[in-house]
């Protein structure tokens, strides 16, 4: 069954989740934060993800902006930076303007030129995703931006992946799903998608019942993979 639809996770896949902390650290007067920004960025992302999983298990859904703030508050406390309210607000503001990875615009343009459907499928709330898409300038090469807010549960719940077939009237085997989160790519494969894991950091494979069909270091070859399957 040929690929007709290419769907991407947003944060960490199309958009660099470390960009907010990195850009903040480079601003004048941020020397104290500059010494700790990498640890803050790592803790922030880890807790953001963990809180989505825990809320899903506890049936305590909320919007992604709340867990993003919760994750940052944990990360700042872990690095003894809780006393700087202005720093917190600056980091949160920058999260609405995350940079896209350098290969993203050309990659999405190539997919659209090949006549494929393109979309985001993300834990992000619609307003957050709209801000990121606008900041990255990729709205013209995306057919839709799908948010878990419409089903009221975070990934990797099956209902999230089911949104793709409903939106594009396609079978799971027609979907190339791409994520920087191994667990996300694995669970999408378990739902019948052809999946690619963008493993920029060279991490080990997650031990789950399913595995992505392709492992990549960046998104450059996604149009070739879509064309070949």
Active site residues: 9
- Report how far Cα 187 is from the mean position of its chain's Cα atoms: 15
Which of 128, 131, 135 shows the shortest CA–CA distance to 65? 128
- Tell me: cis bond preceding 143? Omega within 30 of 0 counts: no
Q: Rounded to whole angstroms, how far apart are CA atoms 218 and 117?
A: 20
Token reading at 168:
């594009």
Helices 126-136 and 64-78: crossing angle in degrees, nearest 10, is 80
DSSP 57-92: HTT----HHHHHHHHHHHHHHHTT-TT-HHHHHHHH
**HEC profile of 211-227:** CCCEEECCCCCHHHHHH
């Amino acid at each position: 069954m040929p690929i007709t639809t290419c769907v991407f996770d947003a944060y960490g896949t199309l958009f660099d989740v470390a960009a907010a902390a990195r850009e903040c650290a480079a601003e004048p007067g941020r020397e104290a934060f500059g010494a700790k920004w990498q640890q803050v960025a790592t803790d922030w992302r880890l807790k953001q993800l963990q809180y989505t999983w825990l809320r899903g298990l506890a049936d305590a859904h909320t919007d992604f902006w709340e867990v993003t703030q919760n994750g940052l508050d944990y990360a700042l406390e872990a690095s003894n930076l809780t006393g700087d309210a202005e720093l917190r607000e600056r980091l949160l503001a920058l999260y609405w303007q995350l940079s896209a990875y350098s290969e993203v615009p050309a990659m999405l343009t190539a997919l659209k030129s090949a006549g494929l459907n393109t979309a985001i499928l993300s834990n992000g709330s619609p307003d957050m995703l709209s801000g990121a898409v606008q900041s990255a300038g990729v709205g013209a090469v995306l057919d839709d931006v799908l948010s878990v807010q419409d089903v009221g549960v975070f990934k990797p719940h099956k209902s999230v992946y089911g949104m793709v077939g409903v939106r594009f009237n396609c079978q799971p085997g027609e979907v190339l799903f791409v994520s920087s989160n191994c667990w996300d790519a694995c669970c999408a494969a378990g739902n019948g998608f052809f999946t690619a894991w963008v493993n920029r950091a060279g991490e080990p494979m997650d031990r789950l019942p399913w595995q992505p069909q392709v492992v990549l270091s960046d998104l450059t070859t996604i149009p070739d993979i879509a064309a070949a399957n």
